[in-house]
Amino acid sequence: MAKVGIMIEAQEGLTWERWHRICHDTDTLGFDSLRRSDHLISLMDAPERDCIECWTSLALAADWTKRIQFGPMVSPMTFRHPAILGKMAATVDALSGGRVILGVGAGWNANEHHVFGIPFYTEKQRFDLLEQGIKTMRDTWQKSNPKPVHNPMPLLMGGKGQKRTLPLVAREAAEWNLSRLDELMYVESRKVLEAHCKAIGRDPRAIRHSVMTSYIIGRDRSELRERAAQVSKVVRALEGKSPDEVIEDRRRAWFVGTPQEIADKIRHHAALGVDLFMLQHFLLDDSDALKLLAEKVLPAVA
């Protein structure tokens, strides 16, 4: 059985009105979880786009939702002192009744660090900061109140690096995310992760596997083309392409097609071992797309 969640690239136009609606839709339509990025500015060279701050929005998601798991995907350890991040996460988790999954990462986008005057260290320094930050957060959860409902709080970590990322996932993560719909990459990375788990005596099945990718859904070809045209206005890499070109350009790497086609592709990847599919929802005002996923795709993959 595969689970489906929604992921928002918040730096590409997320407003309070949109966030409130997405929280409500995701929670009431039957999705498993809701994740949002933790960035400070558009990564598509559109600085005019709104981007509400991550942890402020997650505090409201704790109140605006009742059922789903939610959290950042992911919070760079470079943005906040780990003790402060740990305290913020524990506070939101307590408010939600234990529904936060804390996504953490080393940080990767140099430009937003430079724009906001945040130090951007070498890759080694950032990974050192991430590893030490996890220890600091767990120490914080022991020392202060309120504590996370599940202490230590479950961590989400992403990536495929064999030297540092996957060994760290094996030691620390409750969920491992691969941000590409790539069958070969997933299978190879999974083998490496399982080997690291066995080397430290951890059951690989204790780690949930998720994949994040985008989607374009339509009841028929006409509706699919309409959404493809809208997506090309948001994703700058697709600007200038016709709807049919967008569909063919993204069909391999995204979930693109009718509900049945998307369900078939989800089931195929679920058979490889993926537990959760986080679908990037670029059209932030398109509640109909979420309803179509919920009505036609969720039952077909459950």
The per-residue pLDDT for 89 is: 98
Partners of residue 228 on adjacent β-strands: none
Summarised one tens digit per residue, pLDDT across range 89-117 is 999 999 999 999 999 999 999 999 999 99
Summarised one tens digit per residue, pLDDT across range 127-156 is 999 999 999 999 999 999 999 999 999 999
Q: Where are the alpha helices (DSSP H) in the chain?
A: 16-29, 54-64, 82-96, 110-115, 123-143, 165-172, 183-199, 221-234, 243-250, 259-270, 287-292, 298-301
Summarised one tens digit per residue, pLDDT across range 245-296 is 999 999 999 999 999 999 999 999 999 999 999 999 999 999 999 999 999 9
With H, G, I as helix, E, B as strand and everything else as coil, classify residue 144. Answer: coil
- Tally Cβ neighbours within 10 Å of residue 98: 14
The per-residue pLDDT for 290 is: 98
CATH 3.20.20.30 for domain 3-301, yes or no, is yes
Torsion 230-235-240-242 (CA) sign? negative
Summarised one tens digit per residue, pLDDT across range 226-242 is 999 999 999 999 999 99
The per-residue pLDDT for 128 is: 97
- For the cut 90, the answer to whether the pLDDT of residue 1 exceeds it is no
